[in-house]
Amino acid sequence: MRNNKLKMLDKKNMFPRVKIFYIIFLLFFSVVFNAQNERKKFCDDFFKASVKNKIKLASNLEPDVLKDIYPIIKDSLEKAKKLVYAKSASQEGKLLVDIIDANLELAKKNYVKAVFIIENGIQYRATNIVDSLRCYSILKSCFIKIRNYIKAYEVNARLELLRIRKPDTLIVNFGVNKSSLFALLNFYPEAIKERRNEFAKLHTVNDTDALASLYNDVGVYFNRQHNSDSAEVCFLKAKEVLTTLKYPADKKTHYEFFKALIGGNLGFSYYNKGNIAKAIPLLKEDIYFSLRYNDYGSAFNSYNLMVECLLKQNNKPLAKKYLDSAENLITLHLSDVSQSLKFLYLKSTFYQAQGDYDRSIKYLNKYFSLKDSLTQLEKVQGLLNTEIAFKIEEREFELKQKNKILEQKNLDDANHKTFRAYQLAGILVLLAIVIFLMMRNRFFKKRELDLSQKNEKINLQNAQIEQSLKEKEILIKEIHHRVKNNLQIITSMLSLQITKEAGKEAESILMDAKQRINAIALTHQMLYQNSNLSQIPINQYVESLVRQIESSFPPTGIKLITELYADNRKINIDNAVPLGLLINELLTNSFKHAFPDNKNGIITVSVSENETFCSIKIKDNGIGLPGDFKSGAKNSIGMDLIHILSEQIEANLKIKNDNGSEFILEIPKAKLFI
């Protein structure tokens, strides 16, 4: 019945799609025609301009535009660049040449080379705030392209300091805002806070477009934290704002797409909450208007989520059609590696649901192969960034040495002037002074030479040590990443095994093993994502672990609360693994046994500390422990593991059975914290 309705909807949408095709064709023709006119006008102005103005015109082009027009102006531009370097003493002209070269490399996706060129321009050519703003803007774009978001954040901080003094006439592309950088770094609470601050600085509640965008962005960040309730509230507010908006007819397509995009995000919230029926129509609408608006990335995301929804409804034939549509978008319009990874994983999931495990494993292997290749590429780019930084430091050192030589020369000139002044006073006195100064000068020169040679050796040794430490840090991160990947492969194999096991007991055992492995994998993931490779914040670790365990169970009426009060406390991997397994066992027991009817349950996980101990409590308001349960007894494999792990970290385990069950771990702070 549901499939028939979907087919009827597809037939109804055929006529609008034909109209959309013609509209898109006309828009495309108009854009191409305008672009050709603009290109011709630029070329006419360029070839008429002087050498200086040619450089200025080319430096003002965006990277993609410069790449497109470069074959036409190449010969004339290259001659102008050579003249600037050969005959001009202007640092401004040479900086503009650096900007042109950096933009060309950026357009050709040679991001590391573009970084080196623009860093060199900042170091030796930039002389004012305008120069710095233009260079940092390009540098920020490069770091985002190579996924070095920490460096991009550092550059953005410099841009924000310079922005205060920016001339009103200067137009600078500042790129992604600070809240988006926080989101790229997975700091979603900070992203939400910063997004609200950005709105408060630039807009008012009467600015309807900006207000709807604010609600939509904040909702997306809540979705990524798996806080579907808060996300749903934000998306509904965004739709309400746009519903009351009266927009002109020429903006209809834009606002229809905007509403559908918000609806698609709302559909994702419904999907997370298990409400598939409410999610599907919103996702269909998002696909339709995204394709109409040529936003293929948004359409691709909704296609993927539609496949997952239809698999949940066991409608595999229709899921296959949406999967093929997503593959068509990947082939024709999308090139981002993250989208390819997402599609390969979805295809593996689809064939797993089909029972075609050979194909499922085939696409899963492709997924891991592509992911490993991406990781390797990012590692190489990181090494290249390190090499660039070292070259820049080396040039700075050479410049300092030249300054020292110049200072020494000035000092020698002063000595000679003094010598001439004393010559007038008397030959004998002057001769004695000259001999004294020459001996003294030789001594100091020899001493300075010795010190200079020693300093060079020390600097070289320091650079080698620093390079060795960076390489070891990269290797340790790679090891943690490999361990995490291997553990994920094991859990994937367990997932496949679970689907083949008929008995609930075997399925339960495999699920428990899978969750224990996931707890260990999370530790390694947080270590390689953290700047410190040997320790992780306990609050962040417990929160991530609890949400991971929660997401492994199907949606229920059970509410999970975390109360974390051990701020700025960190633990090492030796304590993190057993502690994670302990929390996994206790929290899993509460989910599985405390609430047989899965209704109105509350589980609280808290972390607190006093002068001596750190207390970790897992409490539920369920049916409590069995009447024959003994706290000291090892009643099951799980309890055996709980007692063994408690002894390992020297924890005192307390068990209470009052209005539900409560497990308290009291761990000595000297043992747990670093």
Q: Which CATH topology does 535-672 take?
A: Heat Shock Protein 90 (3.30.565)
Tokens 């169970």 belong to 553
- Kindly indicate the confidence band of residue 477, based on its pLDDT and cuts at 50, 70 and 90: low
Residue 608 predicted with pLDDT over 60: yes
Predicted confidence (pLDDT) at residue 3 exceeds the cutoff of 50: no
Mean confidence (pLDDT) of the chain:
78
Specify the pLDDT at position 402.
56
- Among 23-27, 113-117, 236-240, 616-620, top mean pLDDT goes to 616-620
Give the residue-averaged pLDDT of 519-540: 72
d(CA 325, CA 345): 16
> Predicted confidence band at 606 (pLDDT cuts at 50, 70, 90)?
very high
Segment 535-561 mean pLDDT: 83
Q: Give 68: exposed, middle or buried? Use CB within 10 Å, 0-12, 13-18, 19+.
A: middle
Confidence bin at 55 (pLDDT 50/70/90):
confident
pLDDT at 382 over 60: no
Q: Based on the number of CB atoms within 10 Å of its own CB, is 379 exposed (0-12), middle (13-18) or buried (19 or more)? A: middle
- CB distance 241 to 211 below 8 Å: yes
How confident is the model at residue 533, as a pLDDT?
59
Write the pLDDT tens digit of every residue in 440-450: 888 888 888 88
Least confident of 68-77, 97-106, 552-561: 552-561
Higher pLDDT, 444 or 508: 444
Percent of the chain surpassing pLDDT 90: 1
Instruction: Find which of 341-355, 369-383, 455-469 is predicted with most confidence, using mean pLDDT.
Output: 341-355
How far apart CA 576 and CA 538 sit, in angstroms, is 8
- Mean pLDDT score, 93-116: 85
Cα–Cα distance, 273 to 275 (Å, whole number)? 6
Whether the pLDDT of residue 11 is over 60: the answer is no
Output the pTM of the full model: 0.50
Lowest mean pLDDT segment, chosen from 118-132, 381-395, 404-418, 524-538: 381-395
pLDDT exceeds cutoff 50 at 468: yes
Instruction: Give me the long-range contacts of 269-273 (CB less than 8 A, separation at least 24).
Output: 269/219, 269/223, 269/228, 269/231, 269/232, 269/235, 270/228, 270/232, 271/305, 271/308, 271/309, 272/223, 272/226, 272/228, 273/228, 273/229, 273/232, 273/555
Question: For residue 44, what pLDDT is reported?
Answer: 83
Q: What is the mean pLDDT of residues 379-395?
A: 54
Q: CA of 134: how far to CAs of 113, 121, 169, 405, in Å?
A: 17, 10, 13, 33
Q: Check pLDDT > 50 for residue 573.
A: yes
**CA distances for 56 relative to 35, 50, 110, 412, angstroms:** 21, 10, 23, 43
48-53: average pLDDT? 85
Q: Which residues contact 489 (CB under 8 A, 6 or more apart)?
A: 368
Residue-wise pLDDT for 311-356, tens only, equals 888 888 888 888 888 888 888 887 777 788 888 888 888 888 888 8
Domains of the chain, by residue range, sit at 1-47, 49-176, 379-473, 535-672
Amino acid in the structure at residue 52: K
Structure tokens at 14: 């055929």
